[in-house]
């Protein structure tokens, strides 16, 4: 249990030490000469950062370098370059680090007076006259980190480092200086909207929960950390990189609405996030920032973790609560809304991780500060998980209103292999595809809805000309069919029938009437489903139908897949002009669909080969074997 004054002492001490990690400031009298930050997020852990950390610790011990601190952080965002390591105070950014290189980095760089190993640095940070700050690279320079501000900057398993970044000061301010109504007003004024899906104003949610049932004996604050959109990992990164911010924000929310108990519902598929949350909760209880009588103000608040067990629908608020209650995660009809009758029948608010991650900053910096960022109706920043056909796969945070072009071309570094941008998919299975002609629209809640997609939680998957939009729509529908809870008719049966129709289209068995029927079914499911999952399930189909209808028609009328993805519609053929009859392709063919002539009269050229389309299984194995690019598909 620590008093507020003790916390402030920790803050001042840690803040001084953390100056080492700020390239723009000279740190003096710090405990460590160098801070080596190694990313311990899921991406980098998968690519082996734990081994690197171990190797580094051994190497430092070997060289007796006790003044170098290893800090395992959360995600830096540039997952494509993992494992990532950054050395302060100079800010040297090592990417795709290998254990074998550690000895060299230690002996050349980390020793007293050492210099960075230029060949191992992220090349974009290497300039003629040394290294440039990561913040000046294309990936980071357009970003504005609010929710992610501590991710990759602090050790998430150390509450002191969080406190050193003004952690729990917002909670202190709220408890000591503000009434619950003040807090709610501040959040309302900030214009913060829910980052998890629909974009409902957060302050409004809190206000309802505070007032709608005046005599409630218990209320709950829940955190939705059941990030289930395939390709989205914003929330995971916050939990892994800065778990305390969520705890602090939930305590603030508890104070605002009058709740004393919180639940974080987190995906069990996020073991690192779960571990760090457990550690953070234990530390917070130890410091007394969770528990009874926080900061001596009489305010009690505690948080329990609940693990999801693999059901996408549990991201829907009522399903999440049903799941915490120990049931099949099936949504309930609304009204009554959770603010009135939520978890265990009590008034409840549910916000997602990223939403909470903004709260302490809003309290400390004021509503105007936050409202100063973004567009008229969408304030602040938004985190996106960039994935798919893009060079800089990873996590980015940009002000609302940034254009898709900026995100894809500048921050994301464009499309690999010189391919053309075709579409970006936002909002996961609930969202839609943004076509190239909308690439300059500022991204915010309302614009995305206007063009048939939605913000969702922030997955942003880039597609190039090799992606078939019908296939993508089918992929999302397959996901939805799999994840539908099965409770309501439109979603349980309707999405299955949609999937079957799409399947027919990709197999060239559909008619134009089927497309109309599919579209009608989409609108029916949107309007009639019980919960958000069903109501948004048709979006991937509707948005591709709107933007890429000709591609659907090509499948139906021409029986062709323009992107060359849908196997049943593909034909492989060999250009007789280009073929020299070498037979490399025939050797690779698993179906013996290409036969090579072995004998040829002296002086004659080998005859060109052909593919037996009856035998061809369309695996594509032949194509890369041909040095003369004689094989084509279409």
Token pair of 316, please?
Answer: 């829907």
Assess 527 for contact with another protein (CB under 8 A). yes
Q: Candidates 97-105, 187-195, 300-308, 553-561 — which segment interacts with another protein by CB under 8 A?
A: 300-308
Provide the minimum distance between the beta carbon of 141 and another protein in the complex, in angstroms, as a whole number.
Answer: 20
Residue 275 is a binding residue for another protein (CB under 8 A): no
Q: How many CB atoms lie within 10 A of CB 19?
A: 17
Q: Does 584 bind another protein (CB under 8 A)?
A: no
Q: Which of 394, 456, 538, 562 binds another protein (CB under 8 A)?
A: 394
Taking CB under 8 A as the rule, does residue 323 contact another protein?
Answer: yes
Minimal distance, residue 309 CB to another protein, in Å: 4
- Omega cis (within 30) before 390: no
For CA atoms 265, 269, 275, 277, the dihedral sign is negative
Q: How many CB atoms lie within 10 A of CB 25?
A: 11
* Cβ 558 to another protein shortest distance, Å: 24
Of the pair 2, 419, the CB lying nearest another protein is at: 419
Say whether residue 208 binds another protein (CB under 8 A).
no
- Which one of 250-258, 280-288, 306-314, 432-440 is the stretch in contact with another protein (CB under 8 A)? 306-314
CA dihedral of residues 71, 74, 76, 81 (deg, nearest 10)? 90
d(CA 315, CA 479): 14
Residue of 6, 104, 286, 325 interacting with another protein (CB under 8 A): 325
328 interacts with another protein by CB under 8 A: yes
| Terminal-residue alpha carbon distance, the chain | 69
Contacts of 139-142 with CB under 8 Å at 24 or more apart are 139/77, 139/78, 139/392, 139/394, 139/396, 139/411, 139/412, 139/413, 140/77, 142/398, 142/402, 142/406, 142/410, 142/411
CB of 375 to another protein, least distance (A): 23
Q: Name which position in 20, 69, 137, 425 contacts another protein (CB under 8 A).
A: 425
User: Nearest-CA neighbor of 453 among 94, 624, 197?
Assistant: 197
Query: Backbone phi, then psi, for 343, in 5-degree steps?
Result: -60, 130
Nearer to another protein, 175 or 515 (CB): 515
18 vs 472 by CB, closer to another protein: 472
Taking Cα atoms as reference points, which of 564, 572, 569, 594 lies closest to residue 582?
594
- Residue 189 CB, shortest distance to another protein, in Å, is 24
Dist. CA 441–CA 450, nearest whole Å: 11
CB of 331 to another protein, least distance (A): 9
C-alpha distances in angstroms, 588 versus 89, 270, 310, 583?
54, 40, 40, 9
According to CB under 8 A, which one of 114, 198, 201, 230 is a site residue for another protein? 230
What is the distance between the alpha carbons of residues 13 and 165, in angstroms, rounded to a whole number? 11
Among 94, 122, 312, 356, binds another protein (CB under 8 A): 312
Q: Which of residues 445-504 bind another protein (CB under 8 A)?
A: 459, 461, 463, 467, 472, 475, 481-490, 492-497, 500
Q: What minimum distance in Å lies between the beta carbon of 463 and another protein?
A: 7
Per CB under 8 A, 389 contacts another protein:
yes
The answer to whether the beta carbons of residues 52 and 59 sit under 8 Å apart is: no
Whether 117 contacts 125, CB under 8 Å: no
Task: Kindly state whether residue 347 participates in binding another protein, applying the rule CB under 8 A.
Answer: no
CB nearer to another protein: pick between 169 and 393: 393
Q: Are 109 and 66 in contact (CB under 8 A)?
A: no
Q: Give the interface segment with another protein, choosing from 103-111, 324-332, 361-369, 602-610 (CB under 8 A).
A: 324-332
Could you give the CA distance from residue 623 to residue 573 in angstroms, rounded to a whole number?
10
Number of residues that bind another protein (CB under 8 A): 74
Residue 506 in contact with another protein, rule: CB under 8 A: no
Q: Please tell me whether residue 521 binds another protein under the rule CB under 8 A.
A: yes
Find the binder of another protein among 199, 203, 262, 308 (CB under 8 A).
308
Q: Is 384 in the site for another protein (CB under 8 A)?
A: no
93: contact with another protein by CB under 8 A:
no
Q: Does residue number 94 form part of the binding site for another protein (CB under 8 A)?
A: no
């Amino acid at each position: 249990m620590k008093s507020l004054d003790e916390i402030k002492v920790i803050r001042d001490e840690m803040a001084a030490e953390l100056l080492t990690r700020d390239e723009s400031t000279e740190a003096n009298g710090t405990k460590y000469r160098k801070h080596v930050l190694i990313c311990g997020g899921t991406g980098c852990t998968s690519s082996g950062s734990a081994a690197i950390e171990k190797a580094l610790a051994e190497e430092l011990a070997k060289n007796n370098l006790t003044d170098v601190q290893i800090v395992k952080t959360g995600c830096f965002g540039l997952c494509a370059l993992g494992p990532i390591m950054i050395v302060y105070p100079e800010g040297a950014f090592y990417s795709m680090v290998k254990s074998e290189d550690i000895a060299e980095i230690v002996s050349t760089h980390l020793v007293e007076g050492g210099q960075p190993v230029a060949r191992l640095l992220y090349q974009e940070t290497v300039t003629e006259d040394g290294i440039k700050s990561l913040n000046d690279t294309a990936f980071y320079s357009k970003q504005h980190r609010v929710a992610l501000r501590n991710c990759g900057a602090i050790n998430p398993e150390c509450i002191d480092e969080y406190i050193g970044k003004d952690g729990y000061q917002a909670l202190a301010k709220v408890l000591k200086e503000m009434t619950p109504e003040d807090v709610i007003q501040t959040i309302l004024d900030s214009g913060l909207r829910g980052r998890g899906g629909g974009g409902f104003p957060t302050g409004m949610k809190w206000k309802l929960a505070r007032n709608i049932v005046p005599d409630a004996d218990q209320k709950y604050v829940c955190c939705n950390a059941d990030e289930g959109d395939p390709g989205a990992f914003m929330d995971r990164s916050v939990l892994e990189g800065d778990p305390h911010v969520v705890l602090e924000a939930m305590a603030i929310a508890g104070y605002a609405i009058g709740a004393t108990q919180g639940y974080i519902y987190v995906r069990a598929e996020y073991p690192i996030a779960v571990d760090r949350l457990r550690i953070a909760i234990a530390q917070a209880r130890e410091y007394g920032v969770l528990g009874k009588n926080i900061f001596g103000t009489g305010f009690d608040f505690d948080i329990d973790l609940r693990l999801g067990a693999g059901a996408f629908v549990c991201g829907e608020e009522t399903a999440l609560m049903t799941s915490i209650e120990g049931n099949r995660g099936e949504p309930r009809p609304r009204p009554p809304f959770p603010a009135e009758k939520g978890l265990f029948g009590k008034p409840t608010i549910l916000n997602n991780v990223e939403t909470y991650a903004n709260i302490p900053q809003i309290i400390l910096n004021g509503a105007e500060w936050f409202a100063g960022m973004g567009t008229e109706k969408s304030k602040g920043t938004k985190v996106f998980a960039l994935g798919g056909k893009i060079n800089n796969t990873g996590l980015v945070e940009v002000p609302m209103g940034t254009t898709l072009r900026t995100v894809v071309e500048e921050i994301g570094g464009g499309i690999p292999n010189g391919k053309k941008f075709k579409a970006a998919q936002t909002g996961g299975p609930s969202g839609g595809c943004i076509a190239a002609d909308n690439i300059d629209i500022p991204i915010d809640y309302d614009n995305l809805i206007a063009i048939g997609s939605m913000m969702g939680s922030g997955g942003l998957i880039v597609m190039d000309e090799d992606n078939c939009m019908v296939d993508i729509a089918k992929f999302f529908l397959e996901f939805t069919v799999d994840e539908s809870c099965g409770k309501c008719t439109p979603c349980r049966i309707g999405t299955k029938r949609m999937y079957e129709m799409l399947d027919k289209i990709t197999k060239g068995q559909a008619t134009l009437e089927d497309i109309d029927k599919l579209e009608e079914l989409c609108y029916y499911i949107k309007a009639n489903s019980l919960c958000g999952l069903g109501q948004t399930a048709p979006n991937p189909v509707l948005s591709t139908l709107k933007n890429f209808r000709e591609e659907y028609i090509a499948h139906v009328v021409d029986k062709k897949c323009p992107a060359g993805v849908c196997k049943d519609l593909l034909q492989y053929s060999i250009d007789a002009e280009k073929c020299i009859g070498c037979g490399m392709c025939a050797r690779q063919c698993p179906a013996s669909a290409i036969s090579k002539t072995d004998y040829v009269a002296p002086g004659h050229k080998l005859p060109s080969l052909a593919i037996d389309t009856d035998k061809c299984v369309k695996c594509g194995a032949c194509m890369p074997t041909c040095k003369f690019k004689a094989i084509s598909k279409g």
